[in-house]
Amino acid sequence: MTIVVGLGNPGPEYRDTRHNIGFRVIDELRRRAGDPPERRVRRATLCRLRLGGREVVLARPGTYMNRSGAVMPALLQSEDAGPEDVLVICDDLHLDLGALRLRPRGTHGGHNGLRSIIEALGTVEFPRLRIGVGPVPDGLTHEDFVLASFRRAERRRLESIVEMAAQCVETAVAEGVARAMNRYNGRPAVDDAVTGGPR
């Protein structure tokens, strides 16, 4: 794959929300690569770097979540890429906090960002990494939940979760989606898993 797209909402008021964990993983991938510069192109913030021995574009759509797909056709055209060359990173409120689920294809599952991208590309045939941010507490709507900030107890785990998601992306790029799925799907993001301790 040549394009890694992290989903989120633009603006400081959304920076720390559950819906923006895709942006956090993009930031972590940049940090691990030495913070190469970003540039704003076609309503998206882009960064080009080497990942797993390959040249990869990291992208953060500058539209709101439910219009994430608006940037995709021009982005793929500019990179001479197809949907199969894209890996999308997003939150999933149906997965427990920190659980990872990488798939080579699939439906939107109710996620508005994935829905928009599927509509824009006309296909479900692109890999996606879902990062668990659930479960949703009783009495709270899904929208209010994903647009809220992580609780204090959750924030203590957030760094480990984002690091492991970044490792999953690096493995998918370097070794393929199937191998990354076998290595990371369903694993809880805990400090030992990230730092190489007991598994």
Question: What phi, psi does 113 have (nearest 5°)?
Answer: -65, -45
Cis upstream peptide for 135 (omega within 30°):
yes
Q: What angle do CA 36, 32, 99 make, to 5 degrees?
A: 130
Q: Judge contact between 87 and 167, C-beta under 8 A.
A: no
Burial 125-144 (b: 16+ CB within 10 A, else e): ebbbbbbbbbeeeeeeeeee
Closest CA to 147 of 17, 21, 41, 44: 17
Q: Kindly state the tokens that stand for 138.
A: 């009783």
- In terms of phi and psi (left: phi > 0; alpha: psi -120 to 50; beta: otherwise), the region of 11 is left
Residue 19: active-site member: yes
Catalytic residue of the set 19, 94, 111, 142: 19
Active-site positions read 19
